[in-house]
Amino acid sequence: MSKHILITGGAGFIGCHVVQLFVNKYPDYQIINLDALTYAGNLENLKEVENSPNYTFEKVDIQNATALEEVFKKHQITDVIHLAAESHVDRSISDPLAFVKTNVFGTVNLLNVAKEYWKDDLQSHLFYHVSTDEVYGSLPEGGFFLETTAYDPQSPYSASKAASDHFVRAYANTYGMRTVVSNCSNNYGPNHFPEKLIPLCINNIKNEKPIPIYGKGENVRDWLFVKDHARAIDTVFHQGEAGETYNIGGFNEWKNIDIVRLLCRKMDEKLGREVGTSEKLITFVKDRAGHDLRYAIDATKIKNELGWEPSLQFEEGIELTIDWYLANQNWLDHVTSGAYQDYYKELYED
Ligand code: NAD
Ligand code: TYD
C-alpha cells in the first residue's frame, strides 16, 4: 500500500523543506501537510508544490483532537512526521503556556489520535517526532551531546520539547507504537522567519538597522543547512530503527559574534558597501534570561548507522542563504508586513 504521510508544521521553516523534498522525491506517496498557520506558518513557502497531485494542505491545530481524527480518516494516514511546534526560545520566555499547549498537549493529542486510528495494526505505522538538541541543556566548553546524554532542558521551549520527546517514547514503551525521535542542532537557510539570529541579521543588515547581540555574543551554536536536515529526516524516516533516537548536526560550531561578523563581511561585499560598514550596526543588548552557553551535537551515530552526513560546507550554505534573502525581497516584505497571512485566504477561501 502506498504511504499517506501526515507532515505537521509543513508551512514552517523546516517543515516546508521536508514537504518539498517528499512531494518531489516520492510521487507515489500522498503528502498531507497539516498546519495551524500560526505567525510562523507561511504557505508561500510551498508555492512550488501547491498544485502537485500528491500534495494536500489541511489547516488544523494539533490541539483539536476531533479535527485530527477527521484528517486521519479522510486521508487514511499511514505515518506521521511531526514538526509542528512553537519554536522560538524568546517567545517561550514571555509566554510559556503557548509552548505547553502546542508542544506538549498538541503532541500527546496527535499520539492519541494516531494510536487509536492505527490500533488494529500498530506495527505497520511510524510516528516520527522531530526534536531539538536543546533538550540536552547547555554544555561547558568541550564535550558533545550524544543520544545517551541525560535530558537537562533549561528554557521553557526546551522543557516543552523534552516533555514531548518523553511522551513519544512512553507511547512506544506503553502501547507498542513504532516511534523514532531525532534531535537536531540549529538550522539555517531559506524561508527562515526573521526572528531567529541569522535571518534577523541578514534583514537588519540589508535595512541598515541595529543588529542586537545578546550578552557578549560568546554563546556557541552548531549550525546545519536546513535542506541537509530535511535529507536527514528522509533518511531516518526510511532507514531509522523504531525505538531509536538519532542526533543530527553540522559538525559546525560558531560563536554568535563570529557568525554575525561573517554575515556583515559577506553582505558588505554583496551589497557593494565599504568593508566594515555593516559591523557598525552590531549592538550588544541585555542577555536572554537563562541563555544556554553552548550546544554541540555528536552526529556520529546517524553517519555510521544510516550513512547521512551534511552535504554543504557552512561557507557555501551561508552564501546560498544570503543570496536567497536578497533574491526574495517579496517573501521578506510579506513576512515583515504580515501580508503572508492573507495567502491562505487567497488560495483556499476566495
Ligand atoms: P517554525 O516555527 O518555523 O514552524 C512551526 C510550524 O508549526 C509553523 O508552520 C506553525 O504554523 C506550525 N504550528 C505551530 N503550532 C501549531 C499547532 N498548534 N498546530 C498545528 N501547527 C502548528 O519551526 P521550525 O524551525 O520549522 O521547527 C520545526 C520543528 O523542528 C519543531 O518541532 C522544532 O522544535 C524542531 N527543530 C527546529 C530547529 C531549528 O533550528 N529551527 C532545530 C531542531 C529542531
Ligand atoms: P536563535 O536563532 O533564537 O536560536 P536558539 O536560541 O534556539 O539557539 O538564537 C541563536 C543564538 O543567537 C542564541 O545564542 C541567541 C542569540 N541571539 C542574539 O544574540 N540576538 C538575537 O536577536 C537573536 C534572535 C538571537
Write down the pLDDT at residue 344.
84
- Residue 1's pLDDT is 62
For residue 282, is it within any domain?
Answer: no
66 contacts: CB under 8 Å, gap ≥ 6? none
Q: Quick one: which ligand is closest to 165's CA?
A: 1
**What does the alpha-carbon distance between residue 85 and residue 91 come to, in Å, rounded to a whole number?**
12
- Please report whether residue 67 resides in a domain: yes
Query: What pLDDT, on the 0 to 100 scale, is given for residue 340?
Result: 87
Which residues in 226-257 are b (16+ Cβ under 10 Å) and which e?
bbbbbbbbbbbbeebeeebbbbbbbbbbbebb
Active site residue 133: yes
Could you read off the pLDDT tens digit of each residue along the chain, which spans 350 residues? 689 999 999 999 999 999 999 999 999 999 999 999 999 999 999 999 999 999 999 999 999 999 999 999 999 999 999 999 999 999 999 999 999 999 999 999 999 999 999 999 999 999 999 999 999 999 988 899 999 999 999 999 999 999 999 999 999 999 999 999 999 999 999 999 999 999 999 999 999 999 999 999 999 999 999 999 999 999 999 999 999 999 999 999 999 999 999 999 999 999 999 999 999 999 999 999 999 999 999 999 999 999 999 999 999 999 999 999 999 999 999 998 888 888 888 888 76
In a domain, 93, yes or no: yes
Q: Where are the alpha helices (DSSP H) in 143-294?
A: 156-175, 197-206, 226-239, 256-271
What residues contact residue 148 under an 8 Å CB cut-off, 6+ apart? none
Q: Is the CB of 215 under 6 A from ligand 2?
A: no
Q: In terms of residue numbers, what domain contains 145?
A: 4-186+225-251+292-312
Within a domain: residue 337? no
Instruction: Indicate if 157 belongs to the active site.
Output: yes
DSSP 187-224: EESTT--TTSHHHHHHHHHHTT--EEEETTS--EEEEE
Residue 332 maps to a domain: no
pLDDT of 350 = 67
Ligand 2 center to 149 CA (angstroms): 23
**What pLDDT shows up at residue 110?**
99
The reported pTM is 0.98
Counting the structural domains of the chain, the total is 1
CATH of the domain at 27: 3.40.50.720
Give the pLDDT of residue 140: 85
Task: Work out the end-to-end distance of the chain between its first and last CA atoms, rounded to an integer number of angstroms.
Answer: 35
pLDDT for 67: 98
Residue closest via CA to ligand 1's atom 28 equals 83
Q: Residue 122: inside a domain, yes or no? A: yes
Give the pLDDT confidence score for residue 9 in this predicted structure.
Answer: 98
Residue 76 has phi, psi (to 5 degrees) of 45, 60
Catalytic annotation present for 333: no
Report the alpha-carbon distance of residue 248 to residue 246 in Å, rounded: 6
The preferred substitution site among 86, 87, 131, 343 for testing ligand 1, maximizing ligand atoms within 8 Å of CB, is 87
Rg (CA), the chain: 20
> 22 in a domain, yes or no?
yes
Question: In a 3-state reduction of DSSP, which class is residue 119?
Answer: helix
Question: Of ligand 2's atoms, which has the minimum distance to the CA of residue 256?
Answer: 12
308 lies in a domain?
Answer: yes
